[in-house]
């Protein structure tokens, strides 16, 4: 894992209309790491992912990916550079087959020529998707739909994956399977930034984490460092030890 940032966000403010959602936020993502965003609902986590993806643009500050300013690029341009987002709620195409959902993910210029190779990699991570490739997506279980959403993201041949609330509403055994897949994806050299409500699990799985509070970065560090912060223990655990 290189110490050089793959993505550098510097002092951004972001608005939803007239409402300011992010205030002077700075974040660095190191190539090859798994980084987590932690925070309560409305703390700005999804807004930050959407801003990286180009769905929103900062009112001030900069966003650099591999040294290139991407703050005002359109989403399709950002996907072409190697950033893909797996949104909260999966947002699969429910009336299309599993295979067609996956193939849609490969329709950017940089990924199209690698479609077959990337499809094989998706099936290696999620064998059930290969078994159900002809099945209509809406008939999959919730966990399988989340696998499909992640698989579709992988089809874009990303360097950085943004994953929003992957485990929401899923059974623990399915969550374990998904986190195992993320570890395998990381081993392929793909950097991961994820949002997760389960703080204990987040600090177990991530290399580092940022904590957002009301649109501002409150703390950042490794899991061990954050577990030693009294304010983190009080806010998220109510106990003296994280148990990570």
Average pLDDT over residues 38-59: 94
Average pLDDT over residues 214-233: 83
Residue 83 φ then ψ, to 5°: -115, 130
Residue 240 pLDDT greater than 90, yes or no = no
pLDDT value at residue 244:
46
Average pLDDT over residues 216-230: 85
Q: Residue 33 contacts by C-beta under 8 Å, 6 or more apart in sequence?
A: 1, 186, 191, 192, 207, 208
What would the pLDDT profile of 3-13 be if each residue is shown by its tens digit? 679 999 999 99
Bridge partners of residue 59, in order along the sequence: none
Average pLDDT over residues 97-115: 88
User: Domain-by-domain residue ranges, the chain?
Assistant: 1-82+190-244
Report the CATH architecture of 1-82+190-244: 3-Layer(aba) Sandwich (3.40)
The larger pLDDT score, comparing residue 59 to residue 42, is at 59
Cα–Cα distance for residue pair 143/166, rounded to 1 Å? 9
Residue 86 pLDDT greater than 80, yes or no = yes
pLDDT value at residue 235:
66
Query: What confidence category does residue 29 fall into, taking pLDDT thresholds of 50, 70 and 90?
Result: very high
What would the pLDDT profile of 117-172 be if each residue is shown by its tens digit? 999 999 999 999 999 999 999 999 999 999 999 999 999 999 999 999 888 888 89
Residue 1 pLDDT greater than 70, yes or no = no
What would the pLDDT profile of 165-208 be if each residue is shown by its tens digit? 888 888 899 999 999 999 999 999 999 999 987 788 888 899 99
pLDDT value at residue 196:
84
């Amino acid at each position: 894992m290189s110490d050089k940032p793959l993505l550098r966000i510097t002092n951004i403010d972001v608005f939803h209309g007239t409402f300011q959602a992010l205030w002077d936020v700075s974040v660095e993502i190191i190539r090859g790491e798994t980084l987590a965003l932690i925070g309560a609902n409305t703390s700005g986590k999804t807004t930050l992912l959407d801003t990286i993806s180009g769905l929103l643009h900062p009112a001030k500050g900069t966003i650099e990916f591999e040294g290139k300013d991407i703050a005002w690029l359109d989403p399709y341009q950002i996907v072409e550079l190697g950033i893909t987002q797996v949104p909260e709620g999966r947002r699969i195409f429910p009336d299309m087959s599993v295979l067609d959902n996956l193939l849609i993910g490969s329709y950017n210029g940089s990924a199209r020529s690698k479609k077959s190779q990337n499809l094989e990699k998706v099936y290696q991570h999620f064998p059930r998707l290969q078994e159900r490739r002809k099945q209509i997506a809406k008939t999959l279980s919730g966990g399988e739909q989340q696998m499909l959403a992640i698989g579709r993201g992988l089809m874009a041949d990303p360097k950085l994956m943004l994953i929003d609330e992957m485990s929401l509403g899923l059974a623990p055994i399915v969550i374990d399977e998904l986190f195992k897949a993320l570890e395998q994806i990381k081993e392929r050299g793909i950097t991961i930034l994820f949002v997760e409500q389960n703080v204990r699990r987040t600090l177990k799985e991530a290399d580092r984490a940022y904590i957002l509070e009301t649109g501002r970065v409150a703390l950042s560090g490794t899991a061990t460092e954050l577990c030693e912060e009294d304010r983190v223990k009080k806010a998220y655990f109510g106990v003296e030890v994280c148990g990570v």
